[in-house]
């Protein structure tokens, strides 16, 4: 864990009688994609929220290593610092892009917001960066002044990704980024995420219930059930040679095309 | 120089969904492959050839034994190494051509093939040129190279898969039935590729159901026998 | 006038409002909540400004009230008369003579001096209200000085119209810390906020907020490096006094569409016209 970007130790969280997290350990190293799979209620989204500091655990610690290599106890960080982190070194891609995008602000304004939040005050530079990022996520840069509601679901998700990556974060949290999209649109998005993540060397914590998505994007995998990590390791090893009864069930339940 | 050294590999599958049924497949398998050598795995269907192959690659977790792969001057035990180290070994040292192509559906064949080279740091345009050359050699027409392989025939997909396996020049290469769906002309091209790989010093382990291919490339054969307890 | 406390408001309320004003002065640009009272005029007519004025008014003060720069509009006349009757203070239309100036939508053209207090009537104190509907969230954004969103709005304007579309209520940064709405004054007046010798108090009655810009405080209009803030005014000169540096109102004078431009600041216009007349007589 010496170089890990994020290290979770002994995370626990209960909601009344429900155990959302139970003794969860996880590490994330720079440039790797870690998938968290499990069915609804397994605790995977809670884990994402705790790892990203959006939710505090009852027990355990999440350590974050900043670009200057200093370690921070994430949940002890002052709110301004944590929010600044979420605007710069980190990103969050929601399943529903409408949760993140400003629907009444143009595509260019949406992409430029994080730059402006960082204090960039040159309109021409912001616009050029927005155009560049629209092109990178395969949206016609000529649509820079269009409002998001004129975009398709797949385009909205790509716009959200452009908006998130514009500050070159080192770590991006993704919550079911391909959920709710048509299969053909999913493929395009998967390819895009894969290409960008590889090229930019971004570390990703990817929460998905779709094992095929995990297989195509992630190097390592955590399988969660009832708030516990019941199996973890190389993605193909966990999926091709599952050891835990629940993982075997999960893998065998997937319809293959 | 020893490139791959497996000792005492054992593998038993436990099917929890079938009441914990145990299926022993491998028990004490040893395999050594030196640089420039090609070893064929033989044995009846169901003997565990593919299981051994996947264990060597780390896709299956060996229950016992060690699988040492030469990786940049040191031997890494694939059976025990940290997942992230296994991923680095796969990127730089250990190539694998599976029976089926498994890639993001939308990516053009050219980029599918170029990807392992790009992952090793080859610039994209250079990797694409190398990919195009390999696909040309494997008779994938230009108009197909720009298309995603999902719509290709089985033979075409396998050739894309082969190109993807050979492009990065891994020093250890695992080939699982690489010629199964190929016609004679393409089969000979693959034989040529394997020979070139061993000539440059690669250690190759292959499953070749085609005796002619096996005879043409393999110097040795490891006979994998069905497990005694398997029933 | 009997039956009312001096300047209408009871002393307890004035004390509460003065405390809010002191806080506001201590934290320039920061909005302070206060218990806004019912006033004998409707919301939107200056209930915030009038409460601030009532709380700071003393017997020796000289009060001026302007509405869009004019001393003679209904709102200005009513408020001036209100304080003349409830406080018995002297009133004036001359900017230089006033100790307290309550204003709606303008800063006088005549430079203010030390000791003067300018009281603004504010309809919407939160500059990000139209961008972020949650007050809890805008409070947090102020607390953490997260003002990227405001720049998103400016970006949108430039992308859409080629310039920032706000010609009034143009957002400013106060003392390099707080984003503030200057109330709906024209952007033309924004530079006058900066380093003003006068104390500037802002009262929003319906929204129950008070904020302030103390004398000699830096107030910068938001802009981009490559789209610097520009204070716009209608091109032309005042038809009455000939001023070419004042903010002009466009007045339609007949049914044929004949128009004229005149100073929106009636005192400034009158003073200039009078001075010109004296010069004319002297010549």
Tens digit of each residue's pLDDT (9 = 90 or more) over C76-126: 999 999 999 999 999 999 999 999 999 999 999 999 999 999 999 999 999
Q: Are residues A78 and A181 in the same domain?
A: yes
Bridge partners (DSSP) of residue A172 are: A91, A204
User: Is pLDDT above 60 for B230?
Assistant: no
Measured in whole angstroms, the distance separating CA C94 from the mean position of its chain's CA atoms is 17
Q: pLDDT averaged over chain C?
A: 94
Size of chain C in residues: 283
Of the pLDDT bands very low, low, confident and very high (cuts 50, 70, 90), residue C283 is low
Report ipTM for this prediction: 0.90
Distance between CA B119 and CA A8 in Å, rounded? 28
Average pLDDT, chain B: 92
Give pLDDT < 50 ranges for chain A.
1, 257
Q: Per-residue confidence at B106, pLDDT binned at 50, 70, 90?
A: confident
Tell me the chain C residues in contact with residue A113 when contact means C-beta distances shorter than 8 Å.
Answer: 148-149, 152
Instruction: Give the active site residue among C3, C29, C203, C205.
Output: C29
All residues at 6 or more sequence positions from C279 whose CB lies less than 8 Å from its CB, including other chains: none
Tokens of B220: 């040795």
Residues A231 and A121 in one domain: no
Rg (alpha carbons) of chain B, rounded to whole number: 18
**Number of domains observed in the structure of chain A:** 2
- Same domain, residue pair A184 and A85: yes
Instruction: Quick: pLDDT tens for C45-74.
Output: 899 999 999 999 999 999 999 999 999 999
Which is higher by pLDDT, C161 or A222?
A222
- Are A234 and A252 in the same domain? yes
Check whether residue A152 and residue A57 sit in a common domain. Answer: no
Q: Do chains A and B touch (3 or more CB pairs under 8 A)?
A: yes
Same domain, A6 and A65: yes
**A142 and A175 both lie in a single domain:** no
Last residue of a domain, one of A151, A168, A185: A168
Cα–Cα distance between C157 and C159 in angstroms, integer? 5
The last residue of one of the domains, among A168, A196, A228, is A168
Which chain B residues are closer than 8 Å to A237 by Cβ?
58-61, 83
Domain boundaries in chain B? Answer: 34-63+80-223
Q: Are residues A40 and A110 in the same domain?
A: no
What is the model's pLDDT at position A257?
A: 42
State the nearest Cα–Cα gap between C135 and chain A, in angstroms. Answer: 17
Is A244 at the interface with chain C, CB within 8 A?
Answer: no
Structure-token pair, residue B70: 């030469």
Q: What stretches of C155-228 adopt beta strand conformation (E)? A: 172-174, 178-180, 199-204, 209-213, 219-221
Q: What is the CATH number of the domain that holds A25?
A: 3.40.50.300
CATH architecture of the domain covering B34-63+80-223: 3-Layer(aba) Sandwich (3.40)
CA-based nearest distance A195→chain C, Å:
29
Catalytically annotated residue among C49, C162, C238, C257:
C238
pLDDT tens, position by position, C242-268: 999 999 999 999 999 899 999 999 999
Q: What's the gap in Å between the CA of C157 and the closest CA on chain A?
A: 10
B54-71 pLDDT, tens digit per residue, is 999 999 999 999 999 999
- Inter-chain residue contact C148 with A114, CB threshold 8 Å: yes
pLDDT for res C1: 58
The pair of structure tokens assigned to C169 is 């209520």
Residue A150: domain span? 94-168
From chain B, the residues in CB contact with A184 under 8 A are 106
If asked whether residues A152 and A191 sit together in one domain, one would say no
Contact assessment for residue A177 and residue A193, using Cβ atoms and an 8 Å cutoff: yes
**Residues present in chain A in total:** 257
Last residue of a domain, one of A140, A168, A196: A168
Over range C202-222, report the average pLDDT: 97
């Amino acid at each position: 864990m010496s170089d890990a970007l994020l290290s979770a130790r002994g995370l626990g969280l209960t909601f009344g009688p429900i155990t959302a997290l139970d003794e969860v350990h996880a590490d994330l190293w720079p440039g790797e994609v870690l998938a968290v799979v499990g069915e609804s209620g397994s605790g995977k989204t809670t884990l994402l929220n705790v790892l990203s500091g959006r939710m505090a655990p009852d027990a355990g610690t999440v350590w974050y290593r900043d670009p200057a290599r200093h370690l921070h106890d994430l949940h002890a960080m002052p709110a301004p610092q944590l929010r600044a982190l979420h605007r710069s070194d980190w990103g969050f891609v929601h399943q529903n892009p409408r949760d993140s995008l400003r629907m009444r602000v143009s595509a260019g304004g949406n992409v430029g917001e994080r730059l402006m939040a960082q204090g960039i005050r040159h309109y021409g530079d912001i616009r050029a960066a927005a155009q560049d990022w629209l092109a990178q996520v395969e949206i016609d840069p000529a649509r820079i002044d269009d409002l998001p509601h004129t975009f398709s679901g797949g385009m909205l998700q790509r716009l959200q990704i452009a908006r998130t990556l514009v500050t070159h974060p080192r770590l991006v949290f993704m919550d079911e980024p391909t959920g709710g999209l048509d299969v053909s649109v999913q493929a395009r998005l998967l390819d895009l995420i894969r290409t960008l993540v590889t090229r930019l060397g971004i570390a990703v914590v990817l929460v998905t219930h779709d094992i095929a998505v995990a297989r195509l994007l992630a190097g390592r995998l955590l399988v969660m059930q009832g708030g516990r990590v019941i199996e973890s390791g190389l993605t193909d090893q966990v999926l091709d040679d599952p050891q835990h009864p629940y993982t075997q069930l999960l893998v065998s339940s997937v319809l293959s095309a | 120089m020893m490139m791959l050294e497996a000792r005492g590999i054992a593998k038993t599958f436990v099917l929890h969904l079938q009441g914990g049924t145990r299926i022993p497949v491998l028990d004490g398998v040893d395999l050594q492959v030196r640089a420039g050598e090609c070893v064929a795995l033989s044995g009846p269907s169901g003997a565990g050839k593919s299981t051994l192959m996947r264990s060597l690659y780390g896709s299956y977790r060996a229950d016992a034994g060690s699988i040492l792969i030469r990786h940049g001057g040191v031997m890494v035990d694939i059976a025990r190494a940290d997942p992230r180290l296994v991923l680095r070994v796969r990127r730089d040292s250990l190539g694998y051509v599976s029976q089926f192509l498994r890639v993001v559906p939308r990516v053009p064949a050219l980029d599918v093939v170029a990807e392992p080279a790009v992952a090793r740091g080859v610039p994209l345009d250079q990797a694409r040129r190398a990919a195009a050359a390999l696909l040309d050699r494997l008779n994938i027409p230009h108009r197909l190279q720009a298309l995603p392989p999902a719509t290709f025939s089985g033979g075409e997909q396998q050739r894309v898969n082969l190109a993807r396996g050979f492009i990065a020049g891994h020093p250890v290469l695992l080939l699982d039935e690489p010629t199964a769906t190929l016609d004679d002309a393409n089969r000979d091209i693959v034989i040529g590729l394997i020979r070139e790989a061993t000539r440059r010093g690669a250690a190759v382990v292959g499953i070749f159901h085609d005796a002619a291919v096996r005879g043409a490339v393999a110097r040795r054969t490891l006979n994998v026998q069905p497990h005694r307890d398997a029933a | 006038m009997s039956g009312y406390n001096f300047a209408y408001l009871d002393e307890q309320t004035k004390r509460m409002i003065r405390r809010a004003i002191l806080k506001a002065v201590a934290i320039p640009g920061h909005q302070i909540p206060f218990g806004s009272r019912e006033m004998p005029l409707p919301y939107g007519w200056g209930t915030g400004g009038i409460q601030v004025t009532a709380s700071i008014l003393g017997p020796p003060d000289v009060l001026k009230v302007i509405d869009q720069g004019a001393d003679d509009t209904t709102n200005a006349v009513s408020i001036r008369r209100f304080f003349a009757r409830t406080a018995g203070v002297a009133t004036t239309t001359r900017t230089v003579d006033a100790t307290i100036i309550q204003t709606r939508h303008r800063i006088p053209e005549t430079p203010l001096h030390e000791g003067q207090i300018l009281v603004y009537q504010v309809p919407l104190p939160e500059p990000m209200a139209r961008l972020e509907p949650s007050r809890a969230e805008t409070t947090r954004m102020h607390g953490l000085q997260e003002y990227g969103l405001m720049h998103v709005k400016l970006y949108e304007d430039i992308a859409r119209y080629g310039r920032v579309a706000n010609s009034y209520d143009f957002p400013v940064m106060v003392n390099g810390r707080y984003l503030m709405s200057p109330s709906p004054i024209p952007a033309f007046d924004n530079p006058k906020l900066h380093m003003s010798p006068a104390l500037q108090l802002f009262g929003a009655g319906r929204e129950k907020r008070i904020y302030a810009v103390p004398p000699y405080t830096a107030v910068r209009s938001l802009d981009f490096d490559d789209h610097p803030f520009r204070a716009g005014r209608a091109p032309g000169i005042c038809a009455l006094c000939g001023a070419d540096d004042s903010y002009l109102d466009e007045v339609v004078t007949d049914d044929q569409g004949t128009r004229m431009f005149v100073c929106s600041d009636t005192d400034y216009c009158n003073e200039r016209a009078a001075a010109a007349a004296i010069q004319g007589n002297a010549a």
